[in-house]
Amino acid sequence: MTESQKTTPAINLKRVTRFYHTGGHWFAPAGTTVTALNQVDLRINTGEIFGLVGESGSGKTTVARLMVRLERPDEGSIVYEGEDIAKMRGERLSRFRRRVQMIFQDPYQSLNPYQSVQRIVGEPLAIHKAKSGAERKEQVIDTLAQVGLTPAETYLHRYPHQLSGGQRQRVAIARALILEPSLLIADEPTSMLDASIAIQIYDILSEVQRQRRVTMLFITHSLAAAHFLCDRVAVIYRGHIVETGPAKSVIANPRHPYTQALLDALPKFGHLWGGRRFDTLRSEPRSTSSTNGCPFFSRCAPADPGLCDNQQPPLKEEDDQHGVACFFAE
Amino acid sequence: MDCLLEIKNLTISYRTGGGHTTTAVDDVSLTLSKGESLGLVGESGSGKSTIGAAIMGLLPRNAEIVSGEILFNGENLLQTDAEALRQLRWKQISMIFQSAMNALNPIQRVGNQIVEAIRVHEPETSPAQALERVEMLYHQMGIPVERLRHFPHQYSGGMRQRAIIAMALACNPQLIIADEPTTALDVIVQDQILKTILALQKKLSLGIIFISHDIAVIADMCHHVGVMYAGQIVEIGSSEEVFATPGHPYTQALLDAHIILSDDGKAPRAIVDHSIDTAEVERGCRFAPRCPLVKSKCRETAPQWLKRSEKHWIRCPMAPAGSPEK
């Protein structure tokens, strides 16, 4: 990666907030509002693999859905190549839809069971009216070969039920790649797969990134996977980015108590820092009525009641350096 | 040490329609002593869950036990009649299921469900005594006792899994089958649940068969490990030894595929993505089509068990002769 690429953002989330309204139906007449994302700033640089790490319910999939404009932010803006995606119309929007592609979590649900591999992978070309029939087929074959489905011709007329989970996910990747996107969003692409198959998917993703210089957002719950694959990572907790920085640095020197708790919770087997412990997780969560404080306050052992439950610590980050949203991180 | 569970040459096949059968478990033998844990690790479809279901007597109807014995405290469970097995189940052998959401009745209060489970198996226990025991279990599992009156949907995922474990322990069993008990959970919750299981195991000296695809979890949790591939155990031994000096190329491949947080950036090697139909490989080694060490004789003859040390056996003649070093 060159210096100039490092500093150009491919996509930029600026103070993005997203609410979901729940309830308001027969069982729960009083609707409540859940803040899925709270003032999230996220900058993904051109050509990098950026990892977004968080537990279920932390808001990571919401980030993905906002970035491909399946949803719109309630506050803030998302800027893709210098343009606010909410304001895109017509040809600009169509181009955006071509250039930004997504790989979903579950290849058992994201592929149409009635379509052949050729149809599934070639469909984006047909939708965007790119190329003639013969050229399309050729490009489908090329793309299948690139994701390791070789000889590609033998896969063209197969249907999803004839493929293993790993092969399905490769088909999903080929489908996302065929329009030659500049930004690829992979939402937990391996959570349904065995570890040995997951490794192959990571290999394909990093190979694709290397060859096509595509920018990638990799969403995962696994710090180990993020460490393995990503250049930079952000850790998200309850809709707040709590720590961000170069993947190696965040994992070797985690500074937010939540990131530290995540590392504590990993199985110790085979880990370099097997004996290292931070003990930042409270066994009994504190009860707190305040909603203004740090999102991790109720479970944070080193937190300072009076400060941490009344004020939200800002995320301090300079350039691409290691940033952390905690009053106590030096 | 006393032998709690012994499985001898167990073979189970599934009828898959059209008169076809698939061998899901092939000639599996293992033993488990009281108070010890054995991890079964392997990819999906390797037969680990089928073994668990066979021990519980909960195989689906299209499964057939072709041969073998499952001895629990010396008694062959496969010869035991259904009623006696029902008595044994939950009281002596219980199970922690993977999907906590589906294992609880959604329209009954969780406390009542556990009390009922106790009373079905111990009719002499009064409801009050049963409730008292459940309260104690909740205390052990770190769930507030007032939660007993709630319904499953009011529980978080981790709490539901704890309730399932409390239910599995309710009749003081000697053996627990834990089938991917933390797979659906977040890492912090997983860690808490695993710690609870470990603590209870020590305290109650439970025997545990721990089924998982995650070798790191098995390595942290279990005294012994059996590595399964395409229905067979290909390597078995103490966790420490198997993971420090793996013998079978498949075990090595699993370890290579496991991403660890280390700084040296050593790229894991991938296993060729190739689902194996056990019907295809009749004579030779099951792993031969994917094996980096494969020789022509591997495809001809089925590998025999080789001893690597007193408690460490592998099913591969090609493995580099390794004496445990560490």
Best A108, A196, A206 residue to mutate vs chain B (most B CBs within 10 Å): A196
pLDDT of B250: 92
ipTM: 0.84
Residue A133: exposure state from Cβ atoms within 10 A (0-12, 13-18, ≥19):
exposed
Q: Using an 8 Å CB-CB cutoff, list residues of chain A that contact chain B.
A: 55-56, 148, 164-167, 194-200, 202-203, 221-225, 227-228, 248, 251-252, 261-273, 281, 283
CB count in 10 Å sphere of residue A201: 27
User: In this predicted model, what pLDDT tens digit does every residue of B141-189 receive, in sequence order?
Assistant: 888 899 999 999 888 888 888 899 899 989 889 999 999 988 878 888 8
B306, two tokens:
């080789």
- Chain A residue numbers with beta carbons less than 8 Å from the beta carbon of B190 are 265
pTM (two decimals): 0.87
Segments of chain A with pLDDT less than 50: 1-5
pLDDT of A2: 44
CA distance A201 to chain B (A): 9
pLDDT of B296: 87
Q: What angle do CA B114, B117, B118 make, to 5 degrees?
A: 90
Q: Which residue of A has its CA nearest to B45?
A: A194
pLDDT of A274: 61
- Chain A residue numbers with beta carbons less than 8 Å from the beta carbon of B257 are 195-196, 198-199
- Chain B residue numbers with beta carbons less than 8 Å from the beta carbon of A202 are 259
Query: Can the peptide bond before residue B268 be classed as cis, meaning omega within 30 degrees of 0?
Result: no
> Read out DSSP for A18-68?
EEEEE--SSS--S-EEEEEEEEEEEEEETT-EEEEE--TTSSHHHHHHHHT
A17, two tokens:
């907030």
Nearest Cα to Cα of residue A225 among A260, A201, A242, A249: A201
- Enumerate residues 247 to 276 of chain B having a beta carbon within 8 A of any beta carbon in chain A: 253-255, 257-263, 267-271, 273, 275
CA distance B91 to chain A (A): 31
Nearest Cα to Cα of residue B172 among B91, B277, B264: B91
Tell me the C-alpha distance between B286 and B303, whole Å.
9
Confirm if A187 and A136 have CB atoms less than 8 A apart. no
Q: Which residue of B has its CA nearest to A170?
A: B273
CA distance B119 to chain A (A): 32
pLDDT of B148: 93
Determine, for residues B273 and A166 on separate chains, whether the beta-carbon distance falls below 8 Å: yes
Tell me the C-alpha distance between A230 and A202, whole Å.
10
- Chain B residue numbers with beta carbons less than 8 Å from the beta carbon of A221 are 186-187
Q: Which residue has the tokens 């998917």?
A: A201
Segments of chain B with pLDDT less than 50: 263-264, 273, 279, 323-326
CA distance A58 to chain B (A): 11
User: In this predicted model, what pLDDT tens digit does every residue of B283-294 receive, in sequence order?
Assistant: 788 888 888 888
CB count in 10 Å sphere of residue B20: 10
For chain B, the residue count is 326
- Chain B residue numbers with beta carbons less than 8 Å from the beta carbon of A261 are 188
Tell me the C-alpha distance between A187 and A104, whole Å.
5
Closest partner residue to A196 among B142, B157, B270, by Cβ?
Answer: B270
Tell me the C-alpha distance between A179 and A101, whole Å.
8
pLDDT of A4: 44
Cα A154 vs. chain centroid, distance in angstroms?
A: 32
Residue A88: exposure state from Cβ atoms within 10 A (0-12, 13-18, ≥19):
middle
